[in-house]
Structure 1
């Protein structure tokens, strides 16, 4: 069942604005720039080696490959808001650690503004409204956005994964824990495995009541066997249709309840929409300084407008599916 947006996408920005910059001209970066231009802005897009040319911008979207934390720290030091599409575990955790620098310079930092993490946090916050108490979140992703994303996923199947289990952080080998996960058509069922992602850390901020959090990625036998080796063949310029699955468990009216939602689309398209809308939300004002995780609530009213953000992302033709059945 498709989710229909409840509100109009963000439009509270000046048509003459040139204050949003984009680092990286790959699939996600060009998608972000195109969406911003469609809103009447004139984003400045530069390659990574010229990123410091954007220090005079008010907000920068980091969509380049490689690690983001060091450059994000530089932008924050100049009071520039940052939206990062990074999804590597170590990099995202390093971004989260920039809280003090962001606050000290009156800037906003949104880490993991892609599909997972990113849209996943918005979907958890959205689906959690169907519960009195939500205590489990089990997520899975299939596919990649482009070459940099493919390399990141390849590396994430090596090393360790983290999960949250009854109040304790657990480490397990990446590539273990096979589970058959069903994604919306046309993706369908896929074998998924633990992988190195910061998603559990971010989701604990989105829903502090969670007692169990797992995150998996689809992989073939070859993917797992070669994870610790260089990629055997160059990644495709753009991945095919990917998918995101979010399963929440908890209680409602005294009974156990389960909600499963997901999307099936090109992940570069999804990540571009998430990053662009997050940047527009910050640029429009009203978001307080500091690290702001997508989906995280703020009782003081200074956080991201998560419900509006989800509606804005879905307004770009991305359909939200909800499992209905027993």
Structure 2
């Protein structure tokens, strides 16, 4: 089966469209189907799941057929359910890359990239601004209610989502934004990516209205595509006997970012050589530096804070 006939995409929204465009530019023309026709992709080698809703159950079905999966889901429970599919992926000689979006996704790649400037990393503090499309906006709305999870000195801490305001600076044109705890799988994924981390926090930008209405139905329909969003990764640790900080980030449309991350994961899987199992972006087992370089080659600029 040629590369052009070996990839399928579930979804027809912004992220799915971005993935298709990037793959097509590299002579890989995937078959795109809606969620209701997902079984039509059982003849593929790789399936990108870029539709709204939960992915874990369908991802498990694909893995059982020996099909590798790249999932763009960022829902906490859904992502962690996919992490639990390790045994099924290995048993069927398939690879599952969960959270192949912005955060999680690009965030893990940036952590792995920035960690190279340290002798040892012990803190990771991440923040995100913006949404990709309607499904992402609904997830953002829901994630500000319920419970957030953080890693603090070797213990998991649960705090109310929407609490813990912190002013976070993103690359221009996003600039400073008030950010809050939210329901995301990112801390649990990063703890696997960098076991030396003692503190992990993840926040998302939100307005007062976002927080007050998080437990209510969305008051207005989400936009077809959000504006320019941002991702910020701050690492702290030791280098040459002293304390050291690194802050890196991006500012771009988040659907563009998620599409680039998912598409470059497909390219890596097409090349082969990835051990079967669940592979988290940023962790060992994936060529993270190569994936990051490929993502950035799609016109996404990486910024690094320089100063005191």
Alignment TM-score, normalising by the size of structure 1: 0.94
State the partner residue of 2:5.
Answer: 18
| Aligned equivalent of 2:276, options 286, 289, 295 | 289
CA shift at 1:17, angstroms? 2.7
Tell me the distance in 2 between the aligned counterparts of 1:227 and 1:79.
39
| Aligned equivalent of 2:233, options 225, 229, 246 | 246
CA shift at 1:304, angstroms? 1.3
Cα RMSD (Å): 0.9
**1:269 equivalenced with 2:256 (yes/no):** yes
| Aligned equivalent of 1:230, options 194, 198, 217 | 217
State the partner residue of 1:305.
Answer: 287
CA shift at 1:42, angstroms? 1.6
State the partner residue of 1:78.
Answer: 65
Tell me the distance in 2 between the aligned counterparts of 1:17 and 1:246.
35
**Which aligned runs of 4 or more in structure 1 are off by greater than 6 angstroms?**
none
State the partner residue of 1:153.
Answer: 140
Instruction: Spell out, residue by residue over 1:9-66, the C-alpha distance to the aligned partner (whole angstroms, 9 max, x if none).
Output: xxxx95x631010000100001101111110012000000001100110000000000
Alignment TM-score, normalising by the size of structure 2: 0.99
3-state SS of 2:260 partner: helix
Count of equivalent residues: 308
**1:201 equivalenced with 2:188 (yes/no):** yes
Tell me the distance in 2 between the aligned counterparts of 1:50 and 1:235.
25
3-state SS of 1:61 partner: strand
Tell me the distance in 1 between the aligned counterparts of 2:105 and 2:236.
20
CA shift at 1:201, angstroms? 0.7
Instruction: Spell out, residue by residue over 1:178-227, the C-alpha distance to the aligned partner (whole angstroms, 9 max, x if none).
Output: 00000000000000000000000111111111000000000000000000
Instruction: Spell out, residue by residue over 1:97-156, the C-alpha distance to the aligned partner (whole angstroms, 9 max, x if none).
Output: 111111111100000000000000000000000000000000000000000000001000
Tell me the distance in 2 between the aligned counterparts of 1:18 and 1:37.
12
**1:121 equivalenced with 2:100 (yes/no):** no
Answer with 37-46 or 239-248: which moved more.
Answer: 37-46
State the partner residue of 1:33.
Answer: 20
- 1:40-51 residue pairs with structure 2 within 5 A? 40-51=27-38
Tell me the distance in 2 between the aligned counterparts of 1:31 and 1:229.
31
**1:57 equivalenced with 2:57 (yes/no):** no
| Aligned equivalent of 1:315, options 293, 297, 302 | 297
Tell me the distance in 1 between the aligned counterparts of 2:258 and 2:222.
18
Structure 1: tracts of 5 or more residues without a match: 1-12, 298-302
Instruction: Spell out, residue by residue over 1:63-122, the C-alpha distance to the aligned partner (whole angstroms, 9 max, x if none).
Output: 000000011011001000000000010000101011111111110000000000000000
3-state SS of 2:4 partner: coil
State the partner residue of 1:3.
Answer: none
State the partner residue of 1:9.
Answer: none
Tell me the distance in 2 between the aligned counterparts of 1:310 and 1:144.
21
Tell me the distance in 2 between the aligned counterparts of 1:307 and 1:34.
22
State the partner residue of 1:100.
Answer: 87
| Aligned equivalent of 1:188, options 150, 175, 180 | 175
State the partner residue of 1:260.
Answer: 247
Tell me the distance in 1 between the aligned counterparts of 2:69 and 2:283.
17
3-state SS of 1:228 partner: coil
Tell me the distance in 1 between the aligned counterparts of 2:260 and 2:215.
32
